[in-house]
Chains A and B, each alone.
Chain A
Amino acid sequence: MIIDAIDNEQVDTLLNDVLEAHGYDFLEYSHASIKRRITRLYTLDSFVSFAEFRYAVKTDKKYFKRFLEEITVNVTEMFRDPTFYKSLRNDVLPALGTYPFIRIWVAGCSTGEEAYSLAILLKELNLLNKSLIYATDINPSVLETAKQGMFPLNYLKGYSENYVHSGGLKDFSSYYAANYSLAKFDEALSSKMIFSTHNLVSDHSFNEFQLILCRNVLIYFDKDLQHKVFQLFDNSLENLGYLALGSKESLDFWPNAKNYKRVKSEKIWRKL
């Protein structure tokens, strides 16, 4: 990666183009991260000048699709942070079990690994039948992958270990069928998922949920944008609903955090 290939002003120019030409607003993303993503893509695709890169991003629809895929971070795992999933299993989901119908929003679901992890927990608690998981992302391509429920087989060993550490007692391989290099997850899991694009920066609340999961998305946003998104979540969460964040994210500095109570030591808060 040529680290000084693109300077700060060029980043701003490009992001303004993206907003004007395509309607995606990245201006309130953390600057250092997005600059690194842009520089990485510029280097990866061997552009010879910023002008050429800018032109492609602005005018070439096909290239913009790639830009969107590469600029957003889509790294995810099943049962990432096993103690977090243990807390979902033992503390959060049983409390939701008393509702006649459970609505969950996985915001920024990427390729769906967390939505499938959640579905497995719900199934094991006999709650999947009355649950619906809304899995959304800014990026339409990752949602296509998520719908398929197929993940690279070589990751499954790690996911299986995570599952066991999170308190899973079943044989993890009973949830998928190995198909060449991919593991295809049981369609009973995805039958309870609704996939849709949703942009946390510009789109509004679209339902009321009892649990919102948004992990390792807010780290890419600046503080002001984080607070706007917390407000969006607040508007989308029923009283006594839960908000779950990534292991390095926190509600603490948001002015309305006083209306939320932390669940044990995990990054899970309950709306009071």
Chain B
Amino acid sequence: MEETLTHGKCSALVIGGSAGSLDVLLEIFPNLSTRINFPIIIVTHRKAGNDSLLADLLKNRTSLMVREAEEKEKLLPGYVYIVPADYHLLIENSHTISLDYSEKVNYSRPSIDVTFQSAAEVFKKELVCILLSGSNADGVEGLKAVKKYGGLAVVQDPQTAIMPYMPQQALNNAKPDVILDSLKMAAFINELINK
């Protein structure tokens, strides 16, 4: 498996993570290029009520626009959307956001699987999904869906993850295309910029 992979257009990037993923995000964000020309969606497990905290943390580390995802808003290139606590985020064919307060999936709301699957159906081979550190198996089914629709499935190298369980499950079950050291994540994302 190679770390750099030739691929086609990137229309959306979704990053999912749970316990231990915040450190990676804080590492990635200062190094993201301002020329990023696709939307980035961040799905992380966290407690309800701390809504704007993650958005604020990331906002201070990038000049990309970072915001909490709003219901029915259209995904725009160069924007970073944080999935709000306690809602699932789905994507419509029109590239607008639908929030959903249905049952938890993998004991989680938001669930990484739900957003990965929904994005896979819409963006198909123009989708890149990255699964970071975490201690449950949310995201594994989602990565399978990404692969099924021809998108690029990426996992954080479990050896560099604070909680290796989640990326390891993906490695064992979803046959990801790329395994990335957390330090090389930002460079990888910058490589996705559409020329």
Give the interface of A toward B (CB within 8 A): 1, 3-4, 8, 30-33, 36-37, 73, 75, 216, 219-220, 222-223, 226, 246-250
Contacts and interface: CB of A to CB of B under 8 A. Distances in A.
For chain B, what secondary structure do more than half of its interface residues adopt (helix, strand, loop), or is it mixed? Answer: mixed
Contacts of A222: 72
With a 10 A CB-CB cut-off, give which of A8, A31, A32, A250 has the most chain B CB atoms.
Answer: A32
A248 B145 contact: no
A248 B121 contact: no
Interface stretch (B5-13, B31-39, B90-98, B164-172): B90-98
B87 to A, nearest CB: 6
B99 A248 contact: yes
A31 B90 CA distance: 10
B80 interface: no
B93 A248 contact: no
Contacts of B141: 1
For chain A, what secondary structure do more than half of its interface residues adopt (helix, strand, loop), or is it mixed? Answer: loop
A37 B101 contact: no
B1 to A, nearest CB: 25
Q: Which 9 A-B pairs have the closest CB atoms?
A: A32-B90, A30-B98, A73-B102, A216-B101, A33-B100, A32-B98, A248-B71, A32-B92, A3-B117
Contacts of A73: 100-103
A31 B148 contact: no
A222 B91 CA distance: 13
Interface in B81-123: 84, 87, 90-93, 98-103, 114, 117-118, 120-122
A222 B122 CA distance: 17
Contacts of B92: 30-32
6 contacts: A1-B141, A30-B98, A32-B90, A36-B102, A73-B103, A248-B87
B117 A33 contact: no
Nearest to B145: A3
Contacts of A220: 98, 100
Contact of A248 (B70, B117, B118, B120): B70
A4 B91 CA distance: 15
Contact of B101 (A30, A36, A75, A223): A75
Given A75-B103, A247-B84, A248-B87, 15 more contacts: A4-B148, A30-B90, A32-B90, A32-B98, A32-B118, A36-B102, A36-B118, A73-B102, A73-B103, A219-B71, A223-B72, A248-B70, A248-B71, A248-B99, A250-B71
